[in-house]
Amino acid sequence: MQDATPPRSPPRGDTPATLDECRRCDLWRNATHGVPGSGPRSARIMLIGEQPGDQEDLAGQAFVGPAGRILDQALARAGVARDEVYVTNAVKHFKWIPRGKRRMHKTPAQREVDACLYWLDQELDRIRPPVIVTLGATALRAMVRRPVRMQDYLDQPVRLGEAWLLATWHPSYALRVNDAAERDSVIAAIANAIARARKLAS
Ligand code: URA
């Protein structure tokens, strides 16, 4: 007897061709743009943040707001040009909650990070960076694919398949500390991780 059940097609939006068509989670609903990574295909270092912020959502580009300016300071201290690295995020849509007229960042849920691995994996396949620097806990967990603690990974490169993985602070952490010296030490730690990444990549 012939099976009358039609072949199961993927749920709508399961394998979108473009970020703008992505419906793999609900974050697209409140976002202006899906924000892709950017940088040369030949980049030897990939920097991965958490998710676009308010300004990135509007501009459609990763790390162009306040956290991006901290990242640029760290890159400059490490002597690495921004246009030689590939910069992306674990999650491609801005998750936020309204507070008055402002859109406040909200940490993405694990299921949203998992849904977005679809895009991150494509970037990893395309760039094949020998060194990956994760900025903050969300990016680290997205890369190791389990709920690890940042402290166990900070300042010690680990092998991840063919690549080195280096974990450091998220640049927004520097924006949250009020003390200037402490802020400077966070930027220095990010710069050290990037400088180390450059050595590993050479
Ligand atoms: N924070 C991130 O993690 N990524 C950005 O692009 C901007 C802020």
Instruction: Quick: pLDDT tens for 109-166.
Output: 999 999 999 999 999 999 999 999 999 999 999 999 999 999 999 989 999 999 999 9
Is the distance from the beta carbon of residue 56 to the nearest atom of ligand 1 less than 6 Å? Answer: yes
Q: How far apart are CA 83 and CA 68, in angstroms?
A: 13
Gap from CA of 8 to ligand 1 centroid (Å): 37
Buried b (16+ CB within 10 A) or exposed e, 7-31: eeeeeeeeebeebeebebbebbeeb
* Predicted structure pTM score: 0.93
53 touches ligand 1 (CB under 6 Å)? yes
Task: Output the six-digit token pair for 13.
Answer: 């939006």
ipTM confidence score: 0.93
Tell me the CA–centroid distance for residue 153 and ligand 1, in Å: 20
In sign, the C-alpha dihedral spanning 116, 39, 164, 80 is negative
pLDDT at 6 over 50: no
Q: For ligand 1, what atom is nearest to the CA of residue 135?
A: 3
Helix boundaries (H) for the chain: 54-59, 66-78, 110-127, 137-144, 171-176, 180-201
Q: DSSP 3-state helix, strand, coil percentages of the chain (rounded to 5)?
A: 45, 15, 40
| 31 closest CA partner among 85, 107, 96, 90 | 96
CATH of 19-201, one of 3.40.470.10, 3.40.50.720, 3.10.560.10, 3.40.50.1370: 3.40.470.10
What angle do the packed helices 180-201 and 66-78 form, to 10 degrees?
A: 60
* Distance (Å) from CA 82 to ligand 1 centroid: 15
Q: Which residues contact 144 (CB under 8 A, 6 or more apart)?
A: 153, 160, 165
* Tokens 């802020």, located at residue: 183
In tens, the pLDDT along 55-105 reads 999 999 999 999 999 999 999 999 999 999 999 999 999 999 999 999 999
